[in-house]
Amino acid sequence: MKEQFSARMVRIHFGEDDKWQGKPLHEAIVARCKELDIAEVIVFRGIEGYGSGSRIRRSGHWTFSKDAPIQVSIIDSDEKIALLLPFLDETIQEGLAASSSVQAIRYTRQPSPTELK
């Protein structure tokens, strides 16, 4: 099945070492998105990058830093994203967030007759 809808995409950039209440920040964001029943969230671990503060973040075998750049990409309605923003304001200490309107297409498979039973 295919469903098209207008949505908002938020991409948040920060470092792998960033934490919220002792757990990795990206895990806290994903958990909060799950609680809010957000349509889509995915975490990307980068190779190299920099952002606020201009500190270069790297991952890999040849560096001593374990602070790889992280991007969390979130897609849902404006209303659902609005519910998430206060949490992001509270949890993100350093980073960058970008928000844009998008046209989303959700693909879902139809359950087989045996799955309906």
Of the CA atoms within 13 Å of residue 58, those in its CB half-sphere come to 7
Work out the burial of residue 24: count CB atoms within 10 Å of its CB; fewer than 13 is exposed, 13-18 middle, 19 or more buried: middle
Give the contacts of 36 (CB within 8 A, at least 6 positions apart): 80, 83, 84
Q: How far is CA 85 from the centre of its chain?
A: 12
Least confident of 39-43, 59-63, 64-68, 99-103: 59-63
pLDDT averaged over the chain?
88
Q: pTM, whole model, 2 decimals?
A: 0.82
Q: 104: helix, coil or strand? A: strand
pLDDT at 80: 96
What CATH code is carried by the domain that includes residue 109? Answer: 3.30.70.120
Span 8-50, pLDDT tens digits: 999 999 989 999 999 999 999 999 999 999 999 999 998 887 7
Instruction: Give me the number of domains the chain comprises.
Output: 1
Give the mean model confidence (pLDDT) for residues 59-76: 78
Q: Which domain holds residue 8?
A: 2-116
